[in-house]
Amino acid sequence: MMAAEAGAARNTLLAYERDLDGASMLLEGRLGEASPEDLHRLAEAWLPLKRATVARKAAALRRFFGFLQDEGLRGDDPSAALPRPGSDRPLPKILDHAAVDALFREIERRKAEGGTAALRLSALVELLYGSGLRATELCSLPRNAVSPDRPFLILRGKGGRERLVPISDRARAAVAEWAAHVPRDSPHLFPSGKKHLSRVRLYQLIKALAADAGIPPERISPHVLRHAFATHLLEGGADLRAVQLLLGHADIATTQIYTHVDSRRLIELVNSRHPLADAGPTGARRAGRAAGRVDARRNPA
């Protein structure tokens, strides 16, 4: 059902399998007949786990018992006894504009020294920060995914969902420079041996670049550059729904976490743009000063 009807990705199916197997072992193979009391025992066994882990396990079991009831395999659904821990999702790590500028200065320095490694790194970072690609999406790009005359590419990302990703002129130029050095018979834009560049190797390349740029390596990763892409778009006034589509998030709640990383800017936005911003004491004083100026113009001394 999860594969055929829900269209779940392979990693999701594997996670469900692990969670259901684990729960079945704790209940000695009686998961399908579990009572609310059995599920309370499961919840007690999960107490040492993180809240996010418990939430994931409970969600898998709710889906399982819902399936059993829908298929007529049991007449009740005991999943109300499962815990519902609150979310403790941490805020994403981000880079400020100065750090991003330092990365690109270091890339330009390496390019000036010559060599294809710098061209590859330039293309990788331009796509990570300029388009918000996930590491896996980036590493496995087909050789002709980015076309010089097409300002976008179509990705099949997490969960098998397709999305259109705009590619900046800078990124297309960087990819074109690198692509000229990719073997013509390579199916991948970033080949490595018989396959493509691995996520681990990409991680290492970004860490080394950060160190040379004077940025603590622990502050950066390919995913941090994706976070910076989203955060800097929102800082620039981008619509949250547009950022959701660009990142390929199935749920806008996932994208909303980026609205928490710059609360100062959001507060300033409300204070300066809200229709009632001038209705308070400050607004009244401003209105009074404006009225005084009008009176002075009408009744000059």
**Annotated catalytic sites, by residue?**
134, 158, 223, 226, 249, 258
Inter-residue contact 123 to 167 (CB < 8 Å): no
Query: CA geometry: angle at 190 spanning 185 and 193, to 5°?
Result: 65
Residues 3 and 128: their CA atoms lie apart, in Å, by 30
Separation CA 33–CA 35 (nearest Å) = 6
Q: What is the DSSP letter of 188?
A: B
Residue 255 CB partners (closer than 8 Å, separation 6+)? 230, 240, 243, 244, 247, 249
DSSP string, 198-255: -HHHHHHHHHHHHHHTT--GGG--HHHHHHHHHHHHHHTT--HHHHHHHHT-SSHHHH
- The CA-based angle 221-255-97, given to 5 degrees, is 45
Nearest 5°: phi and psi at 114?
A: 90, 170
Report the alpha-carbon distance of residue 109 to residue 249 in Å, rounded: 35
Backbone phi, then psi, for 265, in 5-degree steps? -65, -40
Separation CA 181–CA 123 (nearest Å): 12
